[in-house]
Amino acid sequence: MHSFVDTVSKNGNLLLNVGPMADGTLPKMQRERLSGLGQWLSVNGEAIYGTRPWIRAEARTGAGLAVRYTQKQGALYAIVLGKPAGNRVQIAGLQAQDGATVHLLGHAGLLSWQQKDGALSVTLPDRLPEAPACTFRIAPVLQA
C-alpha cells in the first residue's frame, strides 16, 4: 500500500505483477493483496482517482510517519503512511488557509485543526480506521 501511495503522489504508475494460473484463477496471496487494495481504495480512492501531484510529494508527521500528497478540485489530500498514535497528528511544513476544513476519509464529520510550530496539527477522532494509511482531505488547498 505504501509503495502504491508513494508512486501515485509522484505521478507514477505501479506494476502490480498479478498473474493468473493456467485455469484462470489467481493465487490466494495475490487475491488477498488485491482485495486489501480494493478495500482501502473504497474508503480512500478519492485521494487517488483523478488526482495530480501537489507542489511537494512528501513530508513527515511530528512523530516521524511519512506523508504523501495528492490534489484535485481545490482539495489537498495528505495520506499518512501508518496509523498516528495519540489524539493529534502534526504534518510538518503545512500552512492552512483561514477557513480551511479538514476531513478524515472514512469518518463522518470535520476535524478540528490549528497551526502549531510550523505544522498543521489535526485533532483525531477517538477511533481511527484499521488501515495501512489514513487520508486527510484539506480544502481549500494548503500553502507550502
**Residue ranges per structural domain of the chain:** 1-144
Fold for the domain defined by 1-144: Immunoglobulin-like (2.60.40)
pTM: 0.91
C-alpha cell at 97: 488557509
3-state secondary structure of 138: strand
Per the CB < 8 A criterion, the answer to whether 65 and 81 are in contact is yes
| Separation of alpha carbons 95 and 113, rounded Å | 11
Quick: pLDDT tens for 10-63. Answer: 999 888 888 888 999 999 989 998 999 999 999 999 999 999 999 999 999 999
- Phi and psi at 13, nearest 5°, equal -130, 155
| Separation of alpha carbons 86 and 105, rounded Å | 18
Quick: pLDDT tens for 65-100. Answer: 999 999 999 999 999 999 999 999 999 998 888 899
C-alpha cell at 69: 500528497
| pLDDT score for 144 | 54
End-to-end CA distance of the chain: 26
